[in-house]
Amino acid sequence: MDSNITVILQEVSFSYPDGTKAVDNISFSIKQGEKLAIIGPNGAGKSTLLTLLNGVYEAEGKISIFEFEVNRKNRRKIKSSIGLVFQNPDDQLFCPTIHDDVAFGPLNFGMDKEQIGHRVQAALKEVGLIGYGQRSSFHISYGERKLAGIATVLSYDPPLIALDEPTSNLDPLHRRKIINWIRHSERTFIIATHDLDMALETCGRVIILNNGRIVADGPAGVILRNRELLETNQLELPLMLQQSG
By CB under 6 A, name the binding residues for ligand ATP. 16, 18, 20, 22, 40, 42-48
Q: Which of 33, 40, 36 is nearest to 9 (CA)?
A: 36
Which is nearer to ligand ATP, 18 or 228 (by Cβ)? Answer: 18
CB of 158 to ligand ATP, least distance (A): 21
**Which of 22, 65 has the CB closer to ligand ATP?**
22
Nearer to ligand ATP, 42 or 243 (CB): 42
Which residue's C-beta sits nearest to Mg ion?
Answer: 47
Which is closer to Mg ion, CB of 46 or CB of 205? 46
**In sequence order, which residues have a C-beta less than 8 Å from that of residue 56 and are 6 or more positions away?**
84
Binder of residue 244, out of ligand ATP, Mg ion, none (CB less than 5 to 8 A by kind):
none
Q: Residue 137: is it exposed, middle or buried by C-beta count within 10 angstroms (0-12/13-18/19+)?
A: buried
Contact of 63 with 69, CB cutoff 8 Å: yes
Can you give the binding site for Mg ion, defined by CB under 5 A?
46-47
Answer for the pair 205, 35: CB distance below 8 angstroms, yes or no: yes
Min dist. Cβ of residue 128 to ligand ATP (A): 26
**DSSP states along 26-69:** EEEEEETT-EEEEE-STTSSHHHHHHHHTTSSPPEEEEEETTEE
CB of 36 vs ligand ATP, minimal distance in Å:
15
CB of 38 to ligand ATP, least distance (A): 8
